[in-house]
Each structure stands twice: as structure tokens, then as C-alpha cells.
Amino acid sequence: MSKPLKSSQAMPLSGGVRVPGDKSISHRALMFGALAVGESRIEGLLEGDDVLRTAAAMRALGAEVERLEDGSWRLWGRGVGGLQEPADVLDLGNSGTGARLMMGLVATHPFTTIFTGDASLRSRPMKRVSEPLSRMGARFFTREGGRLPAAVVGTDNPLPIVYELPVASAQVKSAILLAGLNTPGITTVIEKEATRDHTELMLRNFGATVDVEYLEDGRHAISVTGFPELTGRHVVVPADPSSAAFPAVAALIVPGSEITLRGVGMNPLRTGLYTTLQEMGADICFQDAREEGGEPVADLLIRASRLRGVEVPAERAPSMIDEYPILAVAAAFATGTTRMNGLSELRVKESDRFAAVMRGLVACGVKVEEEGDTMVVHGTGAPPPGGGTVAVNLDHRIAMSFLVLGMASGQPVTVDDAEAIETSFPGFETLMNGLGAKIETV
């Protein structure tokens, strides 16, 4: 059943909140805890549908996973190489991260795993993962185009590889490194552009040997040594910087707003949006910088600001690939033109986000153009007309982005189905309304 929501002009947003835990780190904490020896405890785990699907999958692969009364999670792992064949199909719902990383986990275990997901996930390409994992010895049986459902027949004689990523992808990098944990020797991934490094940081924290070598031509090689003994750890998950982007932009565009977002992850490979917003003139202060669970975090004080158009370089895309939809909303309110370069990866996310953002902006009266892999948004320095109904296509970030646009546009904005928001930001509507938004069921 669909869940249409309407967002109308908000009062000035105010207050302090903590958005849900980081989705990328939550997935990895569950997986690495399942591979560790002994008990792991996770605090701040994102309890959205994507992550809960990963928790269920790790149970199916033999780990003990339970939620405790205090809201933390406890895992008792199986050790590297100790996963067991699941009795049923693993349904990862909407989670590309869960599916791709888990394919890496099982590729070097000698059993068969069948993966499926919702209509959105079943439409997303998996060849970028299956191709390198096949080189390591796994076999893949998929639908046409390498799409789910897919059967992964793991190998009992895995081979280490050196693999250069054809496109920047933390998911593909991570899948290969996870397969390398249960592979003799050293498995190496070479990146042309740095992608989020949560896998490397957390694997080291659990006891793996992960080396990074910076090559002369600007590339760098990430290597993992096979058969480590991972040991259970206490993991504190920071607030998700991608989720924080929505109230952050809302506070920037709703006149008179001032909010604080607490404990937001500030990994430098995830903060491209905040760099870009500051270049646009955003009033964002980073307070009480600290480290939690091996990751840098800070509190963000954000005040309403007059934004100006900027040129966003293509090399920044890996550090903000999930944030382009909400950046496009900010650009709609800015004075002048914003050019976002290097957005090819947006076409293969939960939906074709490039097309979805453009359709949504047009529906809300914003002038936008496509120039190859560049999106050009023409802001006017004033609230856009709004009034549109935006097709979400099961994409949580499209839904949240256009609900934010409706908070400051001339007329309310409606999204046709906000159900997918639960995959990454449970309680989004309640949190935003608590700050002063006016989001309601249609």
C-alpha cells in the first residue's frame, strides 16, 4: 500500500536532534560482528528496513543476533570462514549495500546462497560485483543483465586477486575485501578515486590486517591479508551524515531556522555535501569534534542562509553520491546556476536518481538541464513555485528531498509514496515535524 505525503511551508525550524545511525556503518558492524570470534555489542544501530534485513541475513548465515532491551544489539560471531549455508532465500529488500557486501562474504564459502530483493533492488546491476568475485572462484547465476534474483555458488578454493575498480564504488571495493578475508594470501583493490573507507577502518578495529599504499599516479591500493582472527568489538554507530543532509538543507532554506544535529559522522570521505553547501554560503558550524567508534563525529549548528550557485567538481562525487538529490533542492533556492558534474553513478542507484531529480524539479517549477553526466539547476534566489506531485519509484532519498523542498516552496509538494523512507530514516516525518515542518498524510 502506498503512503503519499504532502509537505507545506514550515515555520522556522528549531531544536536539537540526532538523526538515525549511519547506514553504511550499521551494515558493516553486523557483518563484521558475525565474522568475529566472541561477542560484539553495537550501539546506535540504524533500525531501518535495510539494516534489519542485513541482521536477518546474518542470522540465516549462522550468527547469533539479538536486540537488547536498552536498544543496543548483541552478536555472537562464527569466525572467518565459519558462516553456514542459509536454509532459505536471503531477501535484502531495498538494500544494495546489504546485497553487494554479502555477496562478497559468501563468495569464498563453499555453499550456495540465493539473493533477492524488492522491485528496485531487482532492477539494479550486480555485474560490477559478480565479475571480480568470479575471478576469485565464485560462480553466479543471475537474471539477464546480472540482476537479482541471483544464486551465488561459493568456492572452496578461493584465489586472491588484484582488481582495479572501473568506477568508484565503496560497495564493490568492500565486497572484494570481504571475500579476501576467507582467501589465502593478499587480496588487493586499486582505486582511482577514494571512496568511503568504513570497511577498512572497521576491519582494522576488529583485528584484520588492512594496508593502504599510495601509488605514484594518484591511485591507491587497499589490501587485506586472508584468514585473520577477528575479535568481537564494541561499536558505537555515529549519526548518518546522509540522513542529516535532509534536516540540514531544510534549515538552510526555511527562513529564520536554527537547528543542531548531534553526533553526525564526519568521515572526510562522506562530507562532500557539507563542503559544497559551505561553498554556496551555508552557515554551518561544526562543534565538539570528537571520535566515536573509530569514526570522527561532530555536532552541526545550522542557520538559514542565502545560497548561491556553484560548480561541483566531478571528483567530489564519491564523497557525496547519495546527497545529490538534496543538493539539487538547495540549488533550486540558490541565486544563480549550480552545475553538478560526474553524476553517472546516480543512474544506477535505488532508481535512476538523475532522471527522478530532474522530473521532480520540473514538476515543482524549477528550471533544470541535462548535459551528459552533468545536472544544471537554475536557481532564482527565491522559493520555487512547488505544487508538484513527485513520483518516488521506491527511492527513499527522492521522497525525503522533495518533502524538504515543499517546506519552503510557494505551494505544497506531494510525494506519491513515502513508504521507502523507512529503509534508511525511520521516524523522518515525526522528527521533521518536531522541528517545525508540516508534513502530513494525503
CA distance 319 to 406: 26
Cis link prior to 20 (omega < 30° from 0)? no
| 357 and 366 Cβ atoms separated by less than 8 Å | no
| 63 and 103 Cβ atoms separated by less than 8 Å | no
In this prediction, residue 295 has a pLDDT band, given cuts at 50, 70 and 90, of confident
pLDDT digits (tens, 9 = 90+) for 34-56: 999 999 999 999 999 999 999 99
* SS3 at position 62: coil
What single-letter DSSP state applies at residue 351? S
- pLDDT at position 142 is 95
Owner of C-alpha cell 539494516: 51
Domain map of the chain by residue range? 5-21+238-441, 23-224
> What is the β-pairing status of strands 147-153 and 112-116?
antiparallel
Show which residues are catalytic: 322
Q: For 5-21+238-441, which CATH superfamily applies?
A: Enolpyruvate transferase domain (3.65.10.10)
| 213 and 258 Cβ atoms separated by less than 8 Å | no
In this prediction, residue 254 has a pLDDT band, given cuts at 50, 70 and 90, of very high
pLDDT digits (tens, 9 = 90+) for 68-122: 999 999 999 999 999 999 999 999 999 999 999 999 999 999 999 999 999 989 9
Grid cell locating 420: 521507502
- Closest alpha carbon to 128 in 165, 91, 159: 165
- pLDDT at position 218 is 85
- pLDDT at position 294 is 73
- Closest alpha carbon to 125 in 160, 166, 85, 163: 166
Q: In the predicted model, what is the mean pLDDT of residues 194-203?
A: 93
| 43 and 34 Cβ atoms separated by less than 8 Å | no
pLDDT at 301 > cutoff 80: yes
Residue 8 CB partners (closer than 8 Å, separation 6+): 406, 407, 412, 438, 440
Please name the fold of domain 23-224.
UDP-n-acetylglucosamine1-carboxyvinyl-transferase; Chain (3.65.10)
- pLDDT at position 325 is 97
Domains 5-21+238-441 and 23-224 share a fold: yes
Annotated binding site: 23-24, 28, 96, 124, 169, 171, 322, 349, 353, 397
Residue 312 CB partners (closer than 8 Å, separation 6+): 276, 327, 338, 339, 340, 341
Annotated binding site for 3-phosphoshikimate: 23-24, 28, 169, 171, 322, 349
- pLDDT at position 292 is 77
Query: Which phi and psi angles does 82 have, rounded to 5°?
Result: -100, 5
pLDDT at 350 > cutoff 80: no
pLDDT digits (tens, 9 = 90+) for 140-164: 999 998 999 999 999 999 999 999 9
**Which DSSP string corresponds to 36-51?**
SBSEEEEES---SHHH
- pLDDT at position 338 is 98
- pLDDT at position 224 is 98
| 126 and 147 Cβ atoms separated by less than 8 Å | yes
In this prediction, residue 206 has a pLDDT band, given cuts at 50, 70 and 90, of very high
pLDDT at 172 > cutoff 70: yes
Helix (H) or strand (E) holding 363: helix 353-363
Predicted TM-score (pTM) of this structure:
0.89
| 265 and 319 Cβ atoms separated by less than 8 Å | no
Helices (H), 263-336: 272-279, 324-333
- Closest alpha carbon to 174 in 191, 157, 154: 191
| 84 and 90 Cβ atoms separated by less than 8 Å | no
Q: In the predicted model, what is the mean pLDDT of residues 309-328?
A: 94
- Closest alpha carbon to 308 in 286, 350, 279, 272: 279
